Structure 1
């Protein structure tokens, strides 16, 4: 009995040699937190080192670009340094730019160009409906032919009247015919001569009318005033073209806009306080916004002798030393006036 009771008491005693099971989850959590902190510290240290390296590389590249030294490991060539001097902004403009129209009002029958087309001086751009003008021309030619026939008829009658006068004069000299016949024949001859002069005047007027009608027909053809490039097509077949805007919104005043690409230059607005640094013939370095690595040699053509009161600037014209196909009207450009 005492042995059983001792065994039961032994089973109820606490064994101090085994670890407490309740502390195991807490240690696991602590270990996980410590591991996370170590991982974060390692990541921060590595990223900080990379940022410093990037900043160092960027500073090296900037310094190399300023000193015109190629960066190691880069195959791109270093750009040439910009010229020093006054810098101003402007735009490419064309000295010869025109909106072409007809000299008369008419309906467009045919258009023979498109945007971007190169045209020569005198090239036909469009034709207007010229049916009525051609009818008037034919009528004028018929009147001219009638006047020519009338002149020929009067010339023949004058020849006959001159013969009659000579015969009458002969008979009168021989006292065979009356002198009245001579007077009548002479009067008839003078009348025919006067009629011939009038007919010739009518013939000249008819010829002038024909020339006028020919010119009118030619005015129905629109031609390029000079060689250039069409940059705008302002009308279509079937629309009314007129040199004036009397027809309102339904009438086109121009059929095309042509630019002479050989007349391109730069217009720059220079501050009044800096205009003393600019002079005609001065060398200029131009850089288009579209091609910032392309430096174009140019020179000052003229300083416009007037100021813009609102902007306190003076306009300066700059011409290119050579015209390039990449230069287009209205391109933005920065120029450096080399000093």
Structure 2
């Protein structure tokens, strides 16, 4: 036998009981639960920090002439006087004398329709009128002669030189021609009316501008049929659309909850979406005395103080209804009304200082609509809270919103 130790003698025996392995799994489970609890604790502490939205305060200088805004709304530029010009009769377009963007005057010729049939009928009516007038002249001459014959027969009958039958014949002829004269005179009036009717139909084939304005669309071309009413897919109902640019105004839908802030004659500042830096002076023309039950709004008409060529129909516009009071003269700060909080009767704002908020009492000089003007308490450049997701305390930490 070999004297060297066997390799089996060097093997280390390890316990293989299932109870020992199960104990290690419980240990790992406890560690995972502890880590989860710690994470939840720190997350809940972080979630408890209120999230705030902020803005930087900017100081502006007021001369005392500017007015505070009571209400903001949006609407569209509309034309009070606009028309799609059509004809009174159905006919074929032979000529269109306008194009988009062209300025036209009242009574200016816009288009012509085919009037060949009407012209022929007019010539026939004029010829019939002339024939009736000629017949009337002939009857008038015969009536004059019959009147003379009646006078002569009357003298001869009274002297016994003529019989009664000759007198009766002369009287009958005079009365007959008198009746024919009256009938032909009436026929002339009828013929003149018929001529006037065909002349009017000739005019109906000439389309004129009902008022001065600008052509915004051209709806028909020569060769197309046009009709005052829709009679099929191949018939136009208008030649062009004319807009009176002097009648442009703004139509705004105001929520009925805030209509009490609007009144007729109120000053308005309008801003076109196309020209956001251009402030257009305007005023309220009228409040339409009915509400839209579907949208819960009331329509308000706003007129421009002065019409500008840059203002076009259907442009989107924002309006700011102004208060009668002017902003105080001098330097002042205007902040959203939502940034002012009430603390037991004291108006305060929350000022951001690092990651904490500081309570600051302020003095309000004017509140109009969604804006508040301060006279003391804040300085230009400071950052304040406009809204918060939780309750704020002096010196508490906050989390700035990333929106």
TM-score by length of 2: 0.64
Q: Which residue of 1 aligns with 2:293?
A: 309
Query: What's the CA shift for 1:323?
Result: 0.5
> For 2:76, what is the secondary structure of its paired residue?
strand
Match of 1:212 among 194, 197, 205: 197
Rg larger in 1 or in 2?
1
Alignment check: 8 A CA contact 1:227 1:260 kept: yes
Looking at structure 1, the residues matched to 162 and 212 of structure 2 have their Cα atoms a distance apart, in angstroms, of 78
Q: Does 1:84 align with 2:69?
A: yes
DSSP-derived class of the 1:208 partner: helix
Let me know the Cα RMSD of the aligned residues. 1.6
Aligned partners of 2:67 and 2:322 also within 8 Å: no
1:29-79, Cα deviation, whole Å (9 max, x unpaired): xxxxxxxxxxxxxxxxxxxxxxxxxxxxxxxxx969x3359xxxxxxxxxx
Provide the rounded CA distance (Å) in 2 between the counterparts of 1:95 and 1:336: 21
**Residue number among 86, 93, 116 corresponding to 1:101 in the alignment:** 86
Mapped contact 1:94–1:261 kept (Cα < 8 A) = yes
- Residues 98-148 of structure 1, C-alpha deviations (whole Å, 9 max, x = no match): 110000000000000000010000111000000011001100000000110
Work out which of the residue numbers 182, 188, 192 in structure 2 matches 1:203: 188
Q: Secondary structure at the match of 1:110?
A: strand
- The equivalent of 1:74 in structure 2 is none
Please, which moves more after superposition, 305-314 or 86-95? 305-314
Name the CA distance, whole Å, in 2 between partners of 1:165 and 1:284: 88
Deviation at 1:174, TM superposition (A): 2.2
Correspondences of 1:1-339 after superposition (within 5 Å): 66-67=58-59, 84-246=69-231, 248-339=232-323
Q: CA deviation at 1:85?
A: 2.6
Q: If each structure's strand is expressed as a fraction of its own residues, which one has the higher value? A: 2
SS of 2:257's equivalent in the other structure is helix
Q: How many residues align?
A: 265
- SS of 2:253's partner is strand
Residue in 1 that maps onto 2:42: none
Moved over 2 A (4+): 66-69, 81-85
The separation in 2 between residues aligned to 1:99 and 1:258, in whole angstroms, is 6
Q: CA separation in 2, counterparts of 1:89 and 1:82?
A: 19
**3-state SS of the aligned residue for 2:155?**
helix
- Note if contact 2:271-2:280 (Cα within 8 Å) is conserved in structure 1: yes
More helix by share: 1
1:211-250 superposed Cα distances (whole Å, 9 cap, x missing partner): 111111000000110000000101111000100112x111
CA distance in 1, matches of 2:139, 2:282: 73
Check the 8 A contact 1:83/1:285 in 2, yes or no.
no
Q: Is the 8 A contact 1:99 1:254 kept in 2?
A: yes
2:357 aligns with none
Q: Retained in 1: the 8 A contact 2:263–2:284?
A: yes
Residue ranges of structure 1 left out of the alignment (5+ in a row)? 1-61, 70-80
